[in-house]
Amino acid sequence: MRILAVRFSAIGDCVMTAWAVTGIREALPHAEIVWAVQDTCRPVLDEERLVTSVVEIPRKRWKAGRWRPEVWHEQLRLYLGIRKNRFDVGFDFQGHSKTSLMLRLARCGSRKSAYAKDAAARLLVPPTACRHEHIVEVSHHLVNQWTPTTLPRLPLMPRVSAPDGIRGPCVTLLTGASDPTRRYPATHWQFVAQKLVSQGCQVVALGGPEDPRIDAPEVVDLVGKLSLRESMAWIAHSQLHLAADTGSGHIAAAYGVPIVSLFSNKSPARSRPWGDRVTVLHNGPDASRINPEEVVRAAEAWLQDYAVPR
């Protein structure tokens, strides 16, 4: 059995899709599962147990040269090249014209789509009707239209070793978000971090090179210093993760780490971190409306079972 999973991006969406793909792997342990994914999101895929191989999409390079004929030719060669796999079924978990085009050109025996976000996608691979709203449930429903699977408690994620220097209780905190409208103010994060440090927690700040830093010497500052996989290791081995509505929250939930997730302009119903170890804080379209004291209380509720050294 050969299966094509198409989900190019983004980090959090790929992690949420991993629940459905894990269901396939558990139901069909000997299947060949190929995942087409953007190069920047590839680190969140478990290439040891979940997928057999990966079709890597150099999306940033393609986007930078979108008007160059050589880029179009490269794209077409890649899309047509996967036909040789003779997939029995292909799933478009993203529903964009770019992902639907890949699925159509792959000539899978059967094509399934969860979404159609533009007219071209709707024409190329008509979506399956679904009453669910959350991405995890929608993806699982799509797979179950093809074969019965069980939604796992946790998805298969890359195995990551505990980082040097970690101690408990460790709280990881992502300071930024890819969308500026979702970001929680750095001054608010600083307040939260200092409160937790004063209670004996090790607070580790994570983020990309463009994300804000926390101006507190007692906080372990790793913002802009780690690869995605290295950041995943800190998150996976922490006792709690704090983040705005961004990919790191989904990574924490997928590893079974409690998460306090701060939402702003989007509804949590569709894309909150999945699972029962999640606290969602939401106070309208602006994340800055969420009181830092409320974030501290939510964190303390998850940490109360840990012995904090004094």
Task: Give the chain's domains with CATH numbers.
Answer: 2-144 (3.40.50.2000), 170-303 (3.40.50.2000)
Strands laid side by side in the 89-92 sheet: 53-57, 32-38, 2-6, 89-92, 110-113
Whether 56 contacts 34, CB under 8 Å: no
Q: Which positions ≥6 away from 170 have C-beta within 8 Å?
A: 201, 202, 203, 204, 234, 237, 238, 239, 240
Q: Which of 39, 47, 40, 33 is nearest to 5 (CA)?
A: 33
> What single DSSP character describes residue 200?
T
Strands 2-6 and 32-38: parallel
pLDDT tens-place values along the chain, 310 residues long:
999 999 999 999 999 999 999 999 999 999 999 999 999 999 999 999 999 999 999 988 888 877 888 888 888 899 899 999 999 999 999 999 999 999 999 999 999 998 899 999 999 999 998 999 999 999 999 999 999 999 999 999 999 999 999 998 999 999 998 888 889 999 999 999 999 999 999 999 999 999 999 988 899 999 999 999 999 999 999 999 999 999 999 999 999 999 999 998 778 999 999 999 999 999 888 888 999 999 999 999 999 977 554 4
Per the omega criterion (within 30 degrees of 0), is the bond before 169 cis? Answer: yes
> What single DSSP character describes residue 49?
T
Q: Which positions ≥6 away from 50 have C-beta within 8 Å?
A: 18, 21, 22, 25, 33, 155, 156
pTM of the model: 0.95
